[in-house]
Amino acid sequence: MSAPNYSPPNGSGWKVTGQQEGVQVDATGHVVTGVTVSFLTGHGVTGTVFLPDAQYTPDNVRNAVQAKSAILDAVTGLSSEV
């Protein structure tokens, strides 16, 4: 999945590129219905977040994507080289 027309300033930011309804199994073994949201970070990294139906709101999606995007971009380019 890509968004070729997306180029945020200075590599910051993110953009939702898709969403799909589905299910996941939680830590207790219960099936949880929700939505997997795909996104592209400003550094070109793709990622996903899953939100249960009860938490699937624009604000919650924004917060989840923003947090995951920051982590993915922070890890991109890590190296043991000095």
Rounded alpha-carbon distances, angstroms, from residue 57 to 32, 39, 53, 61: 16, 16, 9, 6
Residue-wise pLDDT for 1-45, tens only, equals 444 555 554 567 899 999 999 999 999 999 999 999 999 998 899
Is 80 inside a domain boundary? no
Q: Which of 7, 9, 6, 59 is nearest to 37 (CA)?
A: 59
Is 26 inside a domain boundary? yes
Q: Show the domain range for 40.
A: 22-75
Report residue 27 as tokens: 């830590």
Residue-wise pLDDT for 56-80, tens only, equals 999 999 999 999 999 998 898 787 8
pLDDT, residue 81, reads: 76
Is 27 inside a domain boundary? yes
Radius of gyration of the chain (CA): 14
- Report how many domains make up the chain: 1
pTM: 0.81
pLDDT, residue 28, reads: 97
Report residue 57 as tokens: 């709101």
Read off φ and ψ for residue 22, nearest 5 degrees. -170, -165
